[in-house]
Chain A
Amino acid sequence: MIEFRDLQKSFGPKPVLSGVTLTVKDGETMVIIGYSGTGKSVALKHVVGLLHPDAGDVIVDGRAVSTLDRAGLTALRRDIGYVFQFAALFDSLTVAENVALGLRRRNLDDDEIAERVREALALVDLTGSDERLPAELSGGMRKRVGIARAIALRPKYLLYDEPTTGLDPVTSAVMDGLMVRAREHLGVTGVVVTHDLRSAYAVGDRIAMLYEGRIRQVATVQEIQETEDPVVRQFIEGRAA
C-alpha cells in the first residue's frame, strides 16, 4: 500500500504540493489527474525518494520514504518500477541492455536476465528490437521500452509518469493496453500520473484529481465522470472557464 500523508513540497517560494493525502490500495491502479504544472510528477517522485518532502511523507508498505537511508532506498526501489515521461532510456545502451540494467543489480545469472528481457520485450510487443539503440526508436517505442525496463524487474508497484503524453491517439491506446496487460500479467499496484482523460478512464480503478497542491476528489471512474464538483467537472469537460 502506498500512502501520501500530508505531503508538502515547495520549489523556492512557490508551493507545489500543499498537503497531499491519498491512499493507493494493493492491487488497484490509481490515476492522478490534474492541470499541467500542478505537481503530479512531483508527488510521484516522492514515492521513490527522488525528491525529499518539506513536510509530510509517503509511506510504502509501512516504510516512510523520507526517513530511509541509501540502503533503505535501494531496498524500496527494488519493489518499484518507474516509467518516465520521456522514457529516460540510456542512449549508449541497446534496448536489451536498457531492460537488463536493473536486473544486473539483482544478482541474477545471465540466462535468467536474458529470459526476463525477452519476456518483457514480448509483453510490450518489441520482440526483435533487442539490438537497436534508443535513437533508432520512435517516441511510442521508447515509452514501451521504458515499460519493459520497469516490468522486467517484476516489481510490486509500477509508477507511470505521463505515459501517453506526446503520443498519437492510436499509440496512446496501445500504451493503455500495455498498462492493463502489465497489471493483469504481474498483478502490480499502479499509480499513473496523466492529464489524458481517455487514458485515465481506460486504465484506472480510481481517479484522484490534484488541484492547487491538494487532492480535490478521489473516486471511481464512473463517479468522476458523474461528479458535481465544479473544478473536476471543468477539467474533465475540458472547458476553458
Chain B
Amino acid sequence: MIRTIGRGAVAAIESAGRWGYFIADLGRAAADVGTWSRLLVGQMRRIGVDSLPVAVFIAAFTGIVLALQASYTFTGTVPLYFVGTLVGKTMMLELGPVLTGLALAGRVGATMAAELGTMKVTEQVDALETLAYNPLSYLVLPRVLAATMMFPVIVALSMLIGVCTGWLTSLVLLHLSTPDFIKGLKLFYVFKDTWFGLFKSATFGCTIALVSCRVGLATYGGAEGVGRSTTHAVVYSAVLILLLDAFWAVVLL
C-alpha cells in the first residue's frame, strides 16, 4: 500500500518535472522566431478556419435550446424578455467557451496528437533534429500560439451565433419581440461577460495545444501508440478545460 502510494508520488513528481522542462524548453525555443513565425499563419488557418463549421454548428443549436429552455423555465414566473438575458449571459460566460473548447479538444487536440505522434514514431521528429531544427520551435510553438490566438476568435463567433439563433428562436417560436429580446440581453450585461469568455477560451486553446503536442511528442509504439496518445490528448484536454473553467470562475468572477 505504502509502496504503491510512493510509486504514484514519484511518478507524479517526475511528470511535473518533465512538464517543467517542456515549458522551459518551449520558452527558449521562442527565440527562434524565424522558424515558428513562418509556420504560424498556416496553423492559424488550420486551427481557426477549419474549426469554424463545428463551432458554428454547436453554437447555433446551443442558442436555440437555451432560448427554449429559458422560456420553459420562466413562463408564468419571470417576464419572458429574461430569455435574452439568459441566452446572452450563458453563451458568453459559459457555454460559448466551454462547449466550443470541448468540441475543439476533440478536433484540434486529436489532430495535433495524432500528427505529432505519427511524426515521432516514423522518426520525422528525429529527422527535424538532424536538419538542425528544434522540434519545439518548428512543431509546437506555431500550434500553441495559433490555438491561443484563434480560440477567442472562434468563441467570439460562437457567442454571436448562439445569441443570434437564440434571438431567432425567441422571435419565431416564443413570439418574443426583438426589442424585448434586446432589452433582456442588455439587462445585466457588463463588458466583463465578453472578455471573461474570450480570455477563458484563449487559456483553453493554449492548454489543448500544449497538452496535445506534449502527448504527441511522447508517443512510442507505432500505430497503437499513436491511438493511445490521441485518446490521452482528448481526455486530458477535456478534463483540464473543465478544471480551468472552475478555476477562472473562482479567480475572476
Interface residues of A (CB under 8 A from B): 45, 48-50, 70, 74, 77-78, 80-82, 84-86, 88-91, 101-102, 105-106, 149, 153
Contacts and interface: CB of A to CB of B under 8 A. Distances in A.
B124 interface: yes
Contacts of B4: none
A70 B130 CA distance: 12
B123 interface: yes
Interface in B121-145: 122-124, 126-127, 129-134
Contact of A50 (B28, B119, B124, B129): B129
Contacts of A105: 131-133
Closest 6 CB pairs of A and B: A102-B131, A88-B127, A82-B130, A88-B123, A77-B132, A74-B132
Residue among B126, B129, B132 with max Cβ neighbours from chain A (10 Å): B132
20 contacts: A45-B126, A48-B130, A49-B129, A50-B126, A50-B129, A70-B28, A70-B134, A77-B132, A78-B132, A81-B130, A82-B127, A84-B127, A86-B123, A88-B126, A88-B127, A89-B127, A91-B124, A101-B131, A102-B132, A105-B132
Contacts of B134: 70, 74
Contacts of B132: 74, 77-78, 102, 105-106
Nearest to A155: B130
A80 B122 contact: no
Contacts of A49: 129
B131 A84 contact: no
Contacts of B123: 84-86, 88
Contacts of A88: 122-124, 126-127
A69 B115 CA distance: 28
A51 to B, nearest CB: 10
A43 B28 CA distance: 28
B122 A86 contact: yes
A102 B129 CA distance: 10
A85 B119 CA distance: 14
B243 to A, nearest CB: 33
B139 to A, nearest CB: 11
A203 to B, nearest CB: 20
Given A85-B123, A88-B122, A88-B123, A50 B130 contact: yes
Contact of A80 (B28, B118, B124, B130): B130
Nearest to A77: B132
A70 to B, nearest CB: 7
B94 to A, nearest CB: 37
A90 B127 contact: yes
A84 B133 contact: no
Contacts of A78: 132
A167 B86 CA distance: 66
B174 to A, nearest CB: 48
Contacts of A106: 132
Contacts of A74: 132, 134
A89 B119 CA distance: 9
Contacts of B129: 48-50, 77
Contacts of B122: 86, 88
Contact of B130 (A77, A85, A89, A91): A77
Residue among B28, B122, B127, B133 with max Cβ neighbours from chain A (10 Å): B127
Nearest to A48: B130
